[in-house]
Structure 1
């Protein structure tokens, strides 16, 4: 298996998990915050899309899907246009609200751009330095693994929140 095939499989699994987390979820469930102050499903899924979008676009030298395909305007969030969610306050988490269809449409577009980029990679590309702000500098391979880890954590949290919401409705 080539390294880019492994990465394509990994990002494909994130895509499948995002779609599964959003399946059958209503707007109230998307907005609900576990324990009243946890991150909502809408925030978690928006944030993971923004993280993948911003970081892959930067590493690939591409425009972010968020701005280039008009999603910033469609979401119309009261946040700076380039915001990805890092360090959000509780009020900012509450501000991220969107229907499941729009969240999935955005992530689908991000995933398509990620896939097209990954298809172009050869093994040597993964050693390219993409961020010199760290010691040691971050290679493309390390950045992609970091994105995968972050996105899997957030989609897992969203699936957990969905399960909590499902359990609540059965009581």
Structure 2
């Protein structure tokens, strides 16, 4: 297995989890928040997809799928186009709603495809390229990709937990 295949497998696991967590849920289920400060499934999946889209597009020198493919227009959220959800307040989290499971899957799948296209050409040496010099130490492509996978898996796990609470509400 080479670098590109390893990373594609990791992102493929995220895709499987995104599908599993949103499949067959209603808008009401997706918007459920265990309390007023908690994140909904909709917000968690939107956020993890926005972060992957933002970070991979930046590292690859590509446009974000969110804007380039019109997902921002389709979702019609009352947020700025560049929002990823980082640092959102409870009120902002609550505003990310009204997005059907097929829309969440569709946006994630489009980001996943762009991610896979970028990963396809990677070799081991590419992972050492600095993609963010605003941190000490500087962030390499390898560190950025692992960070995105880690963040995505944490958020899909959180979304799965909220899904597990649905019968108890």
Sort the TM-score into its range (normalised by shorter chain). over 0.9
1:50-91 deviations in Å (ceiling 9; x for gaps):
000000000000000000000000000000001000010111
**Partner residue in 1 for 2:68:** 68
**Partner residue in 1 for 2:18:** 18
Runs (4+) off by over 6 Å: none
Is 1:52 matched up with 2:61?
no
**TM alignment of 1:1-171, pairs within 5 A:** 1-97=1-97, 98-165=99-166, 167-168=167-168
Unaligned runs of 5+ in 2: none
The separation in 2 between residues aligned to 1:95 and 1:150, in whole angstroms, is 22
**Alpha carbons 2:18, 2:45 under 8 Å: kept:** yes
With 31-40 and 143-152 compared, the bigger mean Cα shift is at 31-40
1:76-121 deviations in Å (ceiling 9; x for gaps):
0000001000010111000001111111100010000000000010
The separation in 2 between residues aligned to 1:2 and 1:34, in whole angstroms, is 41
CA RMSD of aligned residues (A): 0.8
The separation in 2 between residues aligned to 1:168 and 1:99, in whole angstroms, is 22
The separation in 2 between residues aligned to 1:54 and 1:35, in whole angstroms, is 28
Offset, 1:34: 1.5
The separation in 2 between residues aligned to 1:50 and 1:2, in whole angstroms, is 27
Offset, 1:35: 2.9
Offset, 1:24: 1.2
Q: How many pairs align?
A: 168
TM value normalised by structure 1:
0.96
Instruction: State the SS of the aligned residue for 1:130.
Output: strand
The separation in 2 between residues aligned to 1:124 and 1:139, in whole angstroms, is 11
